[in-house]
Chains A and B, each alone.
Chain A
Amino acid sequence: MPVQYYIFLSIALFCIGVMGVLMRRNAIIIFMCVELMLNAVNLLLVAFSKMWADAGRVDAAGAQIFVFFIMVVAAAEVAVGLAIIVMVYRNSQSVDVNIMNRLKN
């Protein structure tokens, strides 16, 4: 399969993620969309890594290790982020991000 397919898919996923973050107010959905963006990037990394490896230019493992890093970071982020969201929910009985502007004042 040509690499363009992966690129288009990845762009689509990324845009969905961006739009989700921008438009939704539910913190959990926003969170999911952030994950979606990360994974769109992961997909792209893997695709390019395969492409260059096929061309014999670089070692296939290099970029894919980077993907693992991202997944680990994302997992850590999920742990912290979800904890924050749970705390927010306990405090305000809501996960709507628009009411979370209390840092402002």
Chain B
Amino acid sequence: MINLVWLVPLLPLLGFLVNGLGRRYLSKSLAGIVGSGAILAAFVISLGMFLEVRTPGFQAVTVQLFDFISAGSLHIPFAFQVDQLSSLFLLIITGVGSLIHIYSTSYMHDETSEGFARYFAYLNLFVFSMLILVLGANYVMMFIGWEGVGLCSYLLIGFWYKNTNYNNAAKKAFVMNRIGDLGFLLGMFLMIVHFGSVNYSEVLPQIAGVAKGDGTLAAIAMLFFVGAMGKSAQVPLYTWLPDAMAGPTPVSALIHAATMVTAGIYMIARSNILYTLAPCVQNVVAIIGLVTAVLAASIALKQDDIKKVLAYSTVSQLGYMFLALGVGAYTTAVFHVMTHAFFKALLFLGSGSVIHAMGGEQDIRKMGGLKKYMPITNATFLIGCLAISGIPGLSGFFSKDEILSHTFAANKLLYVVGLLTALMTAFYMFRLYYITFCGQFRGTHEQEHHLHESPGAITFPLIVLAILSVIGGYVGLPAVFGAPNLLEHYLHPIFAASAEKVEPHELAHSTEWLLMGLSSVLVIITIFLARSWYRNFADNGEPRTGLAKVLENKWYVDEIYDAIIVKPLGMLSRFFEEAIERSGIDRLVNGVGRGVQWGSQQVRLLQSGQVGFYIFAMVIGMVLLFVIGFLVR
């Protein structure tokens, strides 16, 4: 089965080609079947591989297809690596991905058949890129996927290309990603200079042999982390992700849950030994992660767009994952990637279902009381909210709690802030839930008339994801429950080298129970607070003031970036163009030309046509020559 690994990315690629080239000829249903079928087939193969990989004692397999780049001593094969980590990610990507594809067949049905096929082509390409990213056996392969998902996010965010705002959002996403990519590239080059290779199987063992705290390692780790900041939307490169809501809703689900933003987590998990040996960078990762988590959560408190709330919640959750990576809890971070994929996909698809029913309306102030119209969406959305808030027993609880307890062990201050973020998460999620699904309907009559539960292709993925959101956490039960932690056991070979290098800080079981109880109680209190405030929400239309206004405007980060980067860049460009290019160099060159022309004009006058003058000039010249001849001698 493992030898078939090349089929996993190939199938989405074929889906992309068929849908992309045949977009004029394929009917909608055919395009949908091709698109979803390719991913489903990839999922089946991934599942088969996973069953093989999970057997104890499995060694990572590298499948080399051909030589990609070989220049001098540098050899970069086009190769796939199948091991515990990539196999797990494959399952998440293709599994959640295929649910999103199925969902899209219904959600995008209003598009023209050409647009429909184009959409599925992009979606398949997206999954393909992400698969290349996680399957690659070296950092260049990872970079291929890394940039590939950037491209696809560009194409999908700007899917409705007639809207200039959407295009700008797409451009912003790509450019911000590119800033990160440059960091990644630099890190890669530093790696090539120092280790002479980018293959995991060659580089990672070499790194493991380097002393802890080595400057070069820190530099590589930091540069890679810059890449992760761009891709996984961390401070300061996070502003593209909320704007990326411009794309169709399933695309948001794909970007936020299954692909793209988890790339940064994957990369750090993959290079865990590098970060373990660079403790200072690890601290940076943890702090940036936490700052992102708090910042995004605070913004989410006051957003009125259903997708924006979810987008900031993603940014915040990603911050959590980086916090986990930063405190060295790699397994936990991957665990949270998985659970987050389930409940965030669920929430996004649920919001899509709501938007679909509302006829494209995204402002939650104009919704309300949807519970009775859309029972399935309501139930699944509620499960998603409960899971993300960390209600005991649901998947989010286990992963989030593990992150918090690891943070507590590492640093108490970080823990407090992390806990605060968790409470904010619970608050804004339930604010969203209550405003949207409870109370009175606040939209127009026409909208109310159209309200309906979504068709099966939409509710089916919701139900599957809801089930996964509930049970997904039981693969990674914390040690205090006494049950074996399946995930940790499974991922052990990947993080073994790191585990050797650090002292494990074990918490007493009683402490852990205490932390768990504390966060659960606080979260439940917060939820009731949100319930009492927003259960009967009525939009009074008053503009917000003070801190609320700042939060509504996202701390004015976009405006600040505009003022300190975009505008000065434009001014600099204009200065180059006008001052240096046109009046500087150009004038100089043209000046030389004009000077010659002017000089010739003047000299031309000597050519008077007067024979006498010519002879006179000749005689003068001869006399001068004689004189010079004498003087020189």
- Chain A residues near B612 (CB-CB < 8 A): 22, 25, 97-98
In chain A, positions 61-84 with a C-beta closer than 8 Å to chain B are: none
CB neighbours (8 Å) of A103 from chain B are 609
Q: Judge whether B609 and A101 touch: CB under 8 Å.
A: yes
Q: Which residue of A lies closest to B622 (CB)?
A: A18
- In Å, the complex CA distance between A100 and B611 comes to 9
User: Which of B610, B611, B619 makes the CB contact (< 8 A) with A18?
Assistant: B619
Indicate whether A90 reaches chain B with its CB closer than 8 angstroms.
Answer: no
Name the CB-closest residue of A to B616. A22
Report yes or no: B616 in contact with A104, Cβ–Cβ below 8 A. no
Q: How many whole Å from A65's CB to the nearest CB in chain B?
A: 27
Contacts of A97 in B (CB 8 A): 611-612
* Chain A: minimal CB distance from B325 (Å): 88
Residues of B within 8 A of A7 (CB): none
> Min CB distance, A94 to chain B, in Å?
15
**Interface presence of B211 (CB below 8 A):** no
Which chain B residues border A22 with CB–CB below 8 Å?
612, 615-616, 619
Please tell me which one of the listed residues A18, A25, A100, A104 contacts residue B608 in the complex, with CB atoms under 8 A apart. Answer: A104
Minimal Cβ-Cβ distance residue in B for A21? B615
Q: Give the docked Cα–Cα distance between A22 and B608 (Å).
A: 16
| Complexed CA–CA distance, A104 and B612 (Å) | 14
1/0 per residue B595-628: CB within 8 Å of A? 0000000000000111110011001000000000
Residue with the highest number of chain A CB atoms closer than 10 Å, among B611, B616, B619: B611
CA distance A104 to B608 in the complex (A): 7
A100 CA to B614 CA in the complex, in Å? 14
Min C-beta distance of B623 to chain A, whole Å: 10
Chain A residues whose C-beta falls within 8 Å of the C-beta of B616 in the assembled complex: 22
Q: Can you list, as one digit per residue, whether each of A85-105 has a CB less than 8 Å from chain B (1) or not (0)?
A: 000000000000110110111
Interface string of B385-413 (1 = CB under 8 A from A): 00000000000000000000000000000
Kindly name the residue among B608, B610, B612, B619 whose own CB sees the greatest number of chain A CB atoms within 10 A. B612
State the Cβ distance, B605 to closest chain A Cβ, in Å: 12
- Which residues on B sit within 8 Å (CB–CB) of A104? 608-609
Residues of A within 8 A of B611 (CB): 97, 100-101
CB distance from A72 to the nearest CB of B (A): 24
Bound state CA distance, A21 and B610, in angstroms?
Answer: 13
Residue among A22, A25, A98 with most chain B CB within 10 A:
A22
Q: Closest chain B residue to A18 by CB distance?
A: B619
> Of all chain A residues, which has the CB nearest B623?
A18
| B619 / chain A contacts, CB cutoff of 8 Å | 18, 22
Residues of A within 8 A of B608 (CB): 101, 104
Distance to closest chain B CB from A86 (angstroms): 18
- Smallest beta-carbon distance A17→chain B, Å: 11
Residues in A neighbouring B609, C-beta threshold 8 A: 101, 103-105
Within 8 A of A (CB), among B503-546: none
Contacts of A18 in B (CB 8 A): 619
User: Chain B, 210-252, contact with A by CB distance < 8 Å: what is the 0/1 string?
Assistant: 0000000000000000000000000000000000000000000
| A16 shortest CB reach to chain B, Å | 13
Determine the residue in chain B with the shortest Cβ distance to A103. Answer: B609
Output the least CB separation between B311 and chain A (Å): 81
Nearest CB on B from A3, distance (A): 20
Closest chain A CB from B616 CB (angstroms): 6
The CA-CA distance from A82 to B610 in the complex, in Å, is: 20
How long is the Cα–Cα vector from A66 to B608 in the complex, in angstroms? Answer: 36
**A6 to B612 Cα, complex, angstroms:** 29
Residues of A within 8 A of B615 (CB): 21-22
Chain B: which residue is nearest A97 at the CB level?
B611
Q: Distance in Å from the Cβ of A31 to the closest Cβ of chain B?
A: 12
Q: Which of chain B's residues have a CB closer than 8 A to the CB of A25?
A: 612
Q: A101 contacts which chain B residues (CB < 8 A)?
A: 608-611
Bound complex: CA of A101 vs CA of B612, how far in Å?
10
Residues of the A chain whose Cβ atoms lie less than 8 Å from the Cβ of B610: 98, 101
CA distance A104 to B619 in the complex (A): 22
A21 CA to B614 CA, complexed, in Å: 11
Within the complex, what minimum Cβ distance (angstroms) separates A25 from chain B?
A: 8
* Whole-angstrom CA separation of A103 from B611 in the bound complex: 11
Rounded to whole angstroms, the CA-CA distance of A103 and B608 in the bound complex is: 10
A8 to B227, CA, bound (A): 94
Q: Tell me, rounded to whole Å, the shortest Cβ–Cβ distance linking B155 to chain A.
A: 70
Give CA–CA (A101, B616) in the complex, Å.
Answer: 16
Tell me which residues across on chain B come within 8 A of A21, comparing CB atoms: 615
Smallest beta-carbon distance B610→chain A, Å = 6
| CA distance in complex: A103, B610 (Å) | 10
**Chain A positions 8-29 with a Cβ under 8 Å from a chain B Cβ:** 18, 21-22, 25
A100 to B616, CA, bound (A): 17
Residues of B410-437 at the interface with A, using a CB-CB cut-off of 8 Å, are: none
In the assembled complex, the CB of B627 is this many whole angstroms from the nearest CB of chain A, namely: 16
A77 to chain B, nearest CB (A): 16
Question: A46 CB to closest chain B CB, in angstroms?
Answer: 23
Q: Give A18 to B610 CA distance when docked, in angstroms.
A: 16
Q: How far is it, in angstroms, between the C-alpha of A100 and the C-alpha of B609 when the chains are bound?
A: 9
Task: Name the CB-closest residue of B to A100.
Answer: B611
**Bound Cα distance from A98 to B613, whole angstroms:** 10
Bound CA–CA A97/B619 (angstroms): 18
A7 to B631, CA, bound (A): 22
- Nearest CB in chain B: distance from A96 CB, A: 11
Interface string of A21-43 (1 = CB under 8 A from B): 11001000000000000000000
Looking at the assembled complex, report how far the CB atom of B608 sits from the nearest CB atom of chain A, in whole angstroms: 7
Measured CB to CB, the closest approach of chain B to A11, in angstroms, equals 12
Alpha-carbon gap, A18 to B620, bound state (A): 11
CB distance from A37 to the nearest CB of B (A): 11
CA distance A21 to B287 in the complex (A): 98
**What's the minimum C-beta distance from A74 to chain B, rounded to whole angstroms?**
18
Can you list 19 contacts pairing A with B, beta carbon distance less than 8 Å?
A18-B619, A21-B615, A22-B612, A22-B615, A22-B616, A22-B619, A25-B612, A97-B611, A97-B612, A98-B610, A98-B612, A101-B608, A101-B609, A101-B610, A101-B611, A103-B609, A104-B608, A104-B609, A105-B609
Beyond known contacts A22-B616, A98-B610: 18 more, CB 8 A cutoff: A18-B619, A21-B615, A22-B612, A22-B615, A22-B619, A25-B612, A97-B611, A97-B612, A98-B612, A100-B611, A101-B608, A101-B609, A101-B610, A101-B611, A103-B609, A104-B608, A104-B609, A105-B609
Residues of B within 8 A of A (CB): 608-612, 615-616, 619
Q: Which 7 A-B pairs have the closest CB atoms?
A: A104-B609, A101-B609, A22-B616, A97-B611, A21-B615, A18-B619, A101-B610
